[in-house]
Amino acid sequence: MDLMEKIVSLCKRRGFIFPASEIYGGVGSIYDYGHYGVLLKNNVKSLWWEENVLRRDDIVGLDSAVLLHPKVWEASGHVSSFTDPLIECKSCNQRFRADHLKEGKFGEVKTIDGKPRCPSCSGELTEEKKFNLMFKTHIGPTEDTASLIYLRPETAQGIFIDFKTILSAYSKKIPFGIAQIGKAFRNEITPGNFTFRTREFEQMEIEFFVEPGTDEKWHKYWLDQRINWYQKYGIDKKHLKLREHSKKELSHYSKATYDVEYLYSWGWGELEGIANRTNFDLSQHQKYSGRDLSYYDEENKKSYIPYVIEPSAGSDRATLAFLIDAYFEDGKRVVLKLHPKLAPIKLAVFPLVANKHELVDLARKTYEMLKPHFTVSWDDRGNIGKRYYAQDEIGTPWCITVDYDSLKDETVTVRDRDSTKQERIKINRLITYISEKLSG
């Protein structure tokens, strides 16, 4: 079993992530997050928000609508150019991205008369055609072109169309940014690799508005900031790299784009994109809406349309990368060595045995004392070794065991997940002890 299979198995077994609508056969590459998965992903988002919004004076938050006016997507270029090259097998009807076929991502493909055949059944393929990735729906009771609307394929455009409102409401001066975490939807032709590429996903994006001419300096700043953030929360720096897009790859709006790439089990893949979007988006929305979206610099008495640096990360991809990097096997033990701030459960509390009322009562009191301060789990099933191993698998950094000595001296055993070392700590010191560990 390769690493990715182990991750997928662990995620389902322990209720982190599993296929959506599974009792009906599932929906292609759409997933549900169970309790531990929700806690883990919420921690990823919370630490991103804390770092990029709460600790800064130059970035404010936003939660824009999923459904935006259709002209937004005309202005942004999504209606005309947000496409992938699609080919379809005439025999098995499977669909593939033509560029992936040319790049050899399906391995060696059979050809007849120099034309590639279907990677699955060797059937004849259709001619390449452009496929728009946006999901369409309708507003109101009629389904016609007048009611057509799209599920947003990115969160960025909601930020751009609210730029002037936010500028005015918070009296911000450039450089400043707007941050948003929210759902996006793309009708991917070939999703896959678990939660790496899905049709419904969540983005963590910043649009950082800067004066033209300072954009390259700020682009470099955000490249450093973002790659350092992943390392700060436990991803091995050997598993991260920056890759600059070639001119052929660049999006129509981009002056320069870099990907923060992570070494997944199948190879290097995008974890986050950091683009210099120039003033393309604001200029387009100014043109299509007829509204002035320029910024007036009072100090220098001039107006301009700001350039934008965009760090755009996926919370699902980040969660997956943290899971992969944390996965560790130690003999019979499977451990998720998640950074304590990412761990879905911070502490687990056990009575040594479940049939001694005095132990259970004291363990329960300890558990209730800790609950207001940390995410805590209770477990009194089976032997203590199995309980430790179960907590190791979900990444719990510390396990607290109430034993017979606890009844005499009000101390408990605190076991460290990574080292398995144990330490006796007074019950009344636990909150301070764990708080110091988390802040260290």
In this prediction, residues 107-122 reach a mean pLDDT of: 82
pLDDT at position 310 is 98
**CATH for 396:** 3.40.50.800
Residues 275 and 245 in one domain: yes
131, 86 Cβ separation under 8 angstroms: yes
Are 253 and 396 part of one and the same domain? no
- Statement to judge: residues 185 and 242 lie in one domain: yes
Q: Are residues 377 and 400 in the same domain?
A: yes
pLDDT tens digits along 75-112 = 999 988 777 777 888 888 777 777 777 777 777 778 88
**Same domain flag for 169 and 254:** yes
Looking at residue 317, its pLDDT comes to 96
User: Is residue 91 domain-resident?
Assistant: yes
Name the region of 427 (left: φ>0; alpha: ψ -120 to 50; beta: rest).
alpha
Of the pLDDT bands very low, low, confident and very high (cuts 50, 70, 90), residue 274 is very high
Residue 339: inside a domain = no
Number of domains in the chain: 3
Structural domain span for residue 363: 345-439
Query: In this structure, are 294 and 181 located in the same domain?
Result: yes
**How many CB atoms are located within 10 Å of the residue 346 CB?**
22
Specify the DSSP class assigned to residue 303.
E
Q: Which of 8-12, 46-50, 141-145, 178-182 has the weakest average pLDDT?
A: 141-145
299-318: average pLDDT: 96
CA gap 142, 136 in Å, rounded? 14
Q: What is the CATH number of the domain that holds 279?
A: 3.30.930.10
Arithmetic mean of pLDDT over the chain: 93
Distance CA 153, CA 398 (A): 40
Answer with the one of 113, 132, 151 that is the final residue of a domain: 132
* Whether residue 28 is found in the same domain as residue 127: no
DSSP string of 101-142? HHTTTT-S--EETTEE--TTT-PPBPPPEEEE-PPEEESSS-
Q: Residue 122: pLDDT band by 50, 70, 90 thresholds?
A: confident
In a domain, 51, yes or no: yes
Q: Is the pTM of this model over 0.85?
A: yes
Specify burial of residue 408 (Cβ count, 10 A radius: 0-12, 13-18, 19+): exposed
For residue 253, pLDDT over 90 is answered with no
Judge if 222 and 114 occupy the same domain.
Answer: no
